[in-house]
Amino acid sequence: MSVIFVVVPVAFVLAGLFLWGFLWSVKKGQYDDLDSPAVRAVFDDEDRVDVRAPQSEVDEARRD
Amino acid sequence: MTQLRERGAAATAAAPRSTACAHCGLPVPADLVDPAGGESFCCNGCRTVYATLRDLGLDGYYGVRDALRGRSEVEPARTSGNDYAVFDRESFTASNVAPLPGGLAQVEFLLEGVHCPACVWLVERLPRAQDGVVEARLRLSDAVARVIYDPTRAKPSDVARSLDRIGYPPHPVSGTERREVDRRADRARLVRLGVAGACAGNVMLLAFALYAGRENGMEHAYQQFFRWTSLVIAAISFLWPGREFFRGALAALRTRTGNLDVPISLALLAGGVAGTINTVRGSGEIYFDSLSVLVFLLLVGRYVQQRQQRYARDAVDLTRSLVPISCRVRRGDASVEVAVSELEPGDLVEVASGGLVPADGEVVEGEALVDQALLTGESEPVRVTVGDTVHAGTRSDGAPLLVRATAVGPNSRVGRLMEIVERGLAEKPPILRLTDRIAGWFVLVLSILATGTFAVWWSAAGLGPAVEHTVALLIVACPCALGLATPLTLAVAVGRAARRGLLVKDAAARAARARCRGRARQDGHTDERATGTAEWVGTRARSSSSPRSSRDRTTPRKALCAVSTRRRATSPRSRRSTTEASRVASARGASPSVHRATSRSADRRGGPVSKAERGARGGGQHRRRGRGGRAAPVVAVAALLDRPRADAASSIEGLRRAGFATEILSGDAAGPVRRVASLLGFAEDDARGGVDPEGKLQRVRTLRARGESIVMVGDGVNDAAALAAADVGIAVHGGAETSLAAADVFASKPGLEPLLDLVALARRTLLTIRLNLGLSLGYNLVVGLLAMTGHVDALVAAIVMPISSATVLTVALGSLSRPLRRERPRTRVVARVGAAEEMSVPCP
């Protein structure tokens, strides 16, 4: 019983995992739009200010 | 005390005034009015800008603004002002709104005016602009925004209005179902590609071990282990991604035609069976490595091609419909907005100035000029008044009209034309792909050779060598290079065309077009037709997304010049036309002084028109020199509006030099057509005016029956039937939706110059395909001969096959990435007319 009979199946399991990962990402639609995500990455993160908050609160927060 | 009371009174009195937004001056919604009586804002954008200006000490701006108020009006954002109520109707929501888990809903809109990454940023901030919107995602590639919203807090029309408010008028997405189907097919292909790639890679690793072991005397047990493992992986590859080839081959056999799938399947089958037998027997060659790489490479080629074409098709699909989705109908005293699809004969439809007529009908109120160019090809607007008939899809200029609908939908004239188009498309013979035609012969020759090889080796050396060499022949003869190179060449070509504003819906069209060209060269026969398309010189913005908006931006003076230009074409009527031009101008609110800008003064000024005209004349002279003794003109087509575009003469000259015979088919009156024809250097026989849609179709058929290949270029609904019937139909920028549906190629840039690019690109593509055809057939011949004489084993096949594929790929990419040499016009006469207006619309 050579180690080759163990190593080769292990290699295939690994390859299978990567393949599964690829198929998963395809099914999730990650390859549907290859243009916009590249652009989206350069935008700043959402600022989390509640846009409905009264301006006075914002002002106060700034003064502090 | 008194003071206090006074202050209170002042506060009460101030309350109504303070509901104007402190920043922009627009009314503030009641719930946003600051109860404390401080500054109120209509939106958070204004609030933020106000706060920012104040923080930076720039609030002096408001003083300046107030001082200037009344003197200069600040232009509001470019919004359509539509209330989009039609998006709340069942007819829209049924097919465009999808419920999501969690009580949310998703709606997609095609946005007008999406240009650059900043648009992604702005559109995706929609949740801030509209209460109830949870998420907005914009796909930059096709300008489709997907909005997820809470249906209990917002309606589709609210979403649409917010998008409109931030400067992106939304439109319904057409072809949603087909796009969904395409998207799924695309994912399925990607999955197959991934599986095929994984299989090919792993089988190759095992093959390295086997080939190395063969030299060094590997133990039999290990060999068998590797063989069986290869067999299992290759079986996955053949049965899952490789199924596509077997399916294609079966379909071809059933219809008794040939395609590339047949020899590919043959190789897969022969190699697979022989490999399996040898694995079971425990000796001999297995071919799994070559074959699974083959499957992978072929799928790569097909995937890339199909993806490119899907982009092109989507882009065409997404061209905005020129027919309105909704219209206003008078019911009693009120006017209500209804979807055009819900119109019924007898409805009283209001058509605004500059608006599209949604149905055929009779004018019951108002008087206007109706532009029928897209429908009939007539460049002259027609005066209509009470009692006259107007047709769906025409555009009304002038006073608002009230129209009683008589025929709607499929019964209208446009609807009937659509039927002709559909019939024409159905009658159009499918274009036989170059490689498929070759594949038929290929299979025939291959089967003869294989039978011969088998027979000779069987009689000379017995069954074993006979099987071995026949299988080797079938595998190395597999047209891998051919099957990979052609789709990739097409994909690269389609991609290049798209970058130049030419959207190729079907790559077969390109093959056909290129073929025409080849013939033209061979027998001096000319094939194609081009157009003298004309537009309003200088009045249509180049990349404006809608003719209406560009027209709206046109100043009255320019509009008048354009109108008078049109008139000038028919001089006997010039007096009447001047009056009409004035009327149009006044309808647009022009000042009296504008009225004096008649056609003569426009001419004298040496303005855009005369410059363009000089250019056109110059082109005409060239043509006379260049044409010499060409026989058998063929087809052509054109939607002829008023004045030839500035680039028309030089472009048509380029086409002629490229070996095309050109002809004008126009629905316009004979007079203007003759005039434009002489400007562009058409012989009198080649310019036909007053041709109705059926006449155009008939002309195309007549010429095709003579064996000519026809390229038809057109933009109007009236051209659609002929576009569908021609070998290659090209719809040009600004055209009607119908013509897009019928055409194979869509030029998204205005003018005829893209046609020259298309010709050059098509020739280059065809040349490349031919070159690769020769290379791969030559390779098949040489290696096939070696296989027949018994000099090819599995290792040689495994090495030679990828090399041949790499060769054709290099040729394909290399040849297409060299700059195109195209027939450049000798003189650039193009007047840069109104360059400023033609600049693209800036991002909102």
Cβ–Cβ < 8 Å for B722, B714: yes
Q: Is the pLDDT of residue B420 over 60?
A: yes
Q: What is the pLDDT of residue B3?
A: 45
Strands B133-139 and B105-111: unpaired
The three-state (H, E, C) secondary structure of B753-775, written as one string: HHHHHHHHHHHHHHHHHHHHHHH
Pick the residue of A2, A28, A40 with the most B CBs within 10 A to test the interface with B by mutation.
A40
Overall residue count recorded for chain A in this entry: 64
Which residue of chain A is at minimal alpha-carbon distance from B49?
A55
In this complex, which of A8, A23, A36 lies closest to B229 when CB atoms are compared?
A8
Q: Is the pLDDT of residue B209 over 50?
A: yes
Of B637, B671, B676, which is closest to residue B535 (Cα–Cα)?
B676
Average pLDDT over residues B241-265: 86
Q: Measured between CB atoms, does A23 come within 8 Å of chain B? A: yes
Of residues B3 and B517, more confidence is placed in B3
In this complex, which of A19, A27, A51 lies closest to B187 when CB atoms are compared?
A27
Token pair 């999808």: residue: B98
Quote the mean pLDDT of chain B: 69
Q: Measured between CB atoms, does A61 come within 8 Å of chain B? A: no
Q: What is the DSSP string of B384-442?
A: E-TT-EE-TT-EEEES-EEEEEEE-GGGSHHHHHHHHHHHHHHHSPPPPPHHHHHHHHH
| CB pair distance less than 8 Å for B47 and A31 | no
Please tell me the distance in Å from B214's CA to the nearest CA on chain A: 17
Q: Using an 8 Å CB-CB cutoff, list chain B residues near A35.
A: 139-141
Cβ–Cβ < 8 Å for B263, B447: no
| CB pair distance less than 8 Å for A36 and B183 | no
Please tell me the distance in Å from B121's CA to the nearest CA on chain A: 7
Of residues B120 and B18, more confidence is placed in B120
Q: Measured between CB atoms, does A47 come within 8 Å of chain B? A: no
Average pLDDT over residues B177-188: 83
- Most confident option among A23-32, B433-442, B517-526: A23-32
| Residue B768 pLDDT level (bands cut at 50, 70, 90) | confident
Which residues are within 8 A (CB) of B345 and not within 5 positions of it... i.e. 6 or more apart?
A: B359, B405, B406, B407, B408
Which residue of chain A is at minimal alpha-carbon distance from B225?
A5
Q: Using an 8 Å CB-CB cutoff, list chain A residues near B141.
A: 33-36
Q: What is the pLDDT of residue B481?
A: 74
Q: If you count DSSP H runs as helices and E runs as strands, how many of each does chain B have, helices first?
A: 31, 22
| CB pair distance less than 8 Å for A12 and B202 | yes
What is the C-alpha to C-alpha distance for residues B538 and B548, in angstroms, rounded to an integer?
A: 15
Token pair 């393949």: residue: A19
Q: What is the pLDDT of residue B177?
A: 73
Please tell me the distance in Å from B187's CA to the nearest CA on chain A: 6
Q: Using an 8 Å CB-CB cutoff, list chain B residues near A4.
A: 222, 225
Question: B388-397, B401-410, B700-709, B744-753: which has the minimum mean pLDDT?
Answer: B744-753
Q: What is the pLDDT of residue B268?
A: 92
Output the CA–CA distances (angstroms, integers) from residue B616 to A13, B213, B441, B750, B835, in the order listed. Answer: 70, 75, 49, 17, 18
Q: Using an 8 Å CB-CB cutoff, list chain A residues near B187.
A: 26-27, 29, 31-32
| CB pair distance less than 8 Å for B51 and A33 | no
Report field, pTM of the whole predicted structure over 0.80: no
Average pLDDT over residues B554-572: 32
- Paired tokens of B201: 């890679």
What is the C-alpha to C-alpha distance for residues B262 and B744, in angstroms, rounded to an integer?
A: 28
- Most confident option among B30-39, B577-586, B788-797: B788-797
Strands B728-731 and B334-339: unpaired
Average pLDDT over residues B321-325: 59
Q: Measured between CB atoms, does A18 come within 8 Å of chain B? A: yes
φ, ψ for residue B642, nearest 5 deg: -90, -70
Please tell me the distance in Å from A27's CA to the nearest CA on chain B: 7
Q: What is the pLDDT of residue A20?
A: 96
What is the C-alpha to C-alpha distance for residues B756 and B659, in angstroms, rounded to an integer?
A: 12
Tell me the one-letter amino acid at A17: L
Which residues are within 8 A (CB) of B239 and not within 5 positions of it... i.e. 6 or more apart?
A: none
Q: What is the pLDDT of residue B586?
A: 30
In this complex, which of A2, A19, A59 lies closest to B194 when CB atoms are compared?
A19
Q: Is the pLDDT of residue B266 over 80?
A: yes
Q: Is the pLDDT of residue B114 over 80?
A: no
What is the C-alpha to C-alpha distance for residues A36 and B678, in angstroms, rounded to an integer?
A: 48
Q: How far is CA B753 from the centre of its chain?
A: 17
Token pair 């001089």: residue: B571
Q: Is the pLDDT of residue B596 over 50?
A: no
Which residue of chain B is at minimal alpha-carbon distance from A34?
B141
| CB pair distance less than 8 Å for B120 and A40 | yes
B383-386, long-range: CB < 8 A, 24+ apart: B383/B580
**B516-548 confidence digits (pLDDT tens):** 433 332 222 222 233 333 222 222 222 222 333
Of residues B785 and B519, more confidence is placed in B785
| CB pair distance less than 8 Å for A26 and B222 | no
What is the C-alpha to C-alpha distance for residues B110 and B315, in angstroms, rounded to an integer?
A: 11
Neighbours of B55 (CB within 10 A): 11
Q: Measured between CB atoms, does A37 come within 8 Å of chain B? A: no
What is the C-alpha to C-alpha distance for residues B159 and B177, in angstroms, rounded to an integer?
A: 22
**Sheet with B334-339, edge to edge strand ranges:** B334-339, B326-331, B348-351, B401-407, B360-365, B389-390
What is the C-alpha to C-alpha distance for residues B33 and B753, in angstroms, rounded to an integer?
A: 56
Q: What is the pLDDT of residue A24?
A: 95
Percent of chain B with pLDDT over 70: 66
Please tell me the distance in Å from B117's CA to the nearest CA on chain A: 6
Q: Is the pLDDT of residue B639 over 50?
A: no
Q: Using an 8 Å CB-CB cutoff, list chain B residues near A40.
A: 120, 124
Which residues are within 8 A (CB) of A22 and not within 5 positions of it... i.e. 6 or more apart?
A: B194, B198
In this complex, which of A26, A39, A51 lies closest to B187 when CB atoms are compared?
A26
Which residue of chain B is at minimal alpha-carbon distance from A26?
B187
Neighbours of B19 (CB within 10 A): 17
Q: What is the DSSP string of B227-253?
A: HHHHHHHHHHHHHTTTHHHHHHHHHHH
What is the C-alpha to C-alpha distance for residues B407 and B346, in angstroms, rounded to an integer?
A: 9
- Paired tokens of B284: 């001999």
- Most confident option among B34-43, B83-92, B238-247, B759-768: B238-247
| CB pair distance less than 8 Å for B198 and A18 | yes
Q: Using an 8 Å CB-CB cutoff, list chain A residues near B52.
A: none
Of residues B741 and B345, more confidence is placed in B345
Strands B326-331 and B348-351: antiparallel
Please tell me the distance in Å from A18's CA to the nearest CA on chain B: 9
Token pair 């065409």: residue: B316
- Paired tokens of B300: 């790569």
| CB pair distance less than 8 Å for A59 and B121 | no
Which residue of chain A is at minimal alpha-carbon distance from B52?
A59
Tell me the one-letter amino acid at B486: T
Q: Measured between CB atoms, does A19 come within 8 Å of chain B? A: yes
Q: Is the pLDDT of residue A19 over 90?
A: yes
Of residues B593 and B477, more confidence is placed in B477
Q: Measured between CB atoms, does A59 come within 8 Å of chain B? A: yes
Q: Count of alpha carbons within 13 Å of B647, Cβ hemisphere only? A: 14
Question: B12-16, B39-43, B204-208, B457-461: which has the minimum mean pLDDT?
Answer: B12-16
Q: Using an 8 Å CB-CB cutoff, list chain A residues near B51.
A: 55, 58-59
Tell me the one-letter amino acid at A13: V
Which residues sit opposite B97 in a β-bridge?
B107
Of B454, B530, B559, which is closest to residue B788 (Cα–Cα)?
B454
Q: Is the pLDDT of residue B748 over 90?
A: no
Please tell me the distance in Å from B44's CA to the nearest CA on chain A: 7
| Residue B615 pLDDT level (bands cut at 50, 70, 90) | very low
- Most confident option among B62-71, B638-647, B778-787, B814-823: B778-787
**B23-82 confidence digits (pLDDT tens):** 776 777 777 777 666 677 777 777 777 777 777 666 666 765 665 454 434 444 445 556
Average pLDDT over residues B669-690: 75
| CB pair distance less than 8 Å for B191 and A32 | no
Cβ–Cβ < 8 Å for B262, B253: yes
Of residues B480 and B196, more confidence is placed in B196
Q: What is the pLDDT of residue B237?
A: 95
Rg, Å, chain B Cα set: 33
| CB pair distance less than 8 Å for A23 and B191 | yes
What is the C-alpha to C-alpha distance for residues A9 and A32, in angstroms, rounded to an integer?
A: 33
Percent of chain B with pLDDT over 90: 8
Cβ–Cβ < 8 Å for B550, B540: yes
In this complex, which of B44, B128, B140 lies closest to A35 when CB atoms are compared?
B140
Neighbours of B27 (CB within 10 A): 11
Of B726, B406, B750, which is closest to residue B550 (Cα–Cα)?
B750
**B597-609 confidence digits (pLDDT tens):** 233 333 333 333 3
List the Cα angle B365/B370/B372 in 5-degree steps: 140
In this complex, which of A15, A39, A40 lies closest to B202 when CB atoms are compared?
A15
Question: B272-286, B504-518, B820-834: which has the minimum mean pLDDT?
Answer: B820-834
Q: Using an 8 Å CB-CB cutoff, list chain A residues near B202.
A: 11-12, 15
Which residues are within 8 A (CB) of B185 and not within 5 positions of it... i.e. 6 or more apart?
A: B306
Cβ–Cβ < 8 Å for B357, B393: yes
Pick the residue of A51, A58, A63 with the most B CBs within 10 A to test the interface with B by mutation.
A51
Q: Measured between CB atoms, does A64 come within 8 Å of chain B? A: no
Q: What is the pLDDT of residue A15?
A: 93
Of residues B448 and B713, more confidence is placed in B448
Of residues B282 and B612, more confidence is placed in B282
Cβ–Cβ < 8 Å for B198, A19: yes
| Residue B699 pLDDT level (bands cut at 50, 70, 90) | confident
Of residues B311 and B539, more confidence is placed in B311
Of residues B336 and B18, more confidence is placed in B336
Please tell me the distance in Å from A23's CA to the nearest CA on chain B: 6
Pick the residue of A2, A8, A30 with the most B CBs within 10 A to test the interface with B by mutation.
A8
Q: Using an 8 Å CB-CB cutoff, list chain A residues near B44.
A: 51-52
- Paired tokens of A41: 């990455």
Q: Using an 8 Å CB-CB cutoff, list chain B residues near A27.
A: 187, 191
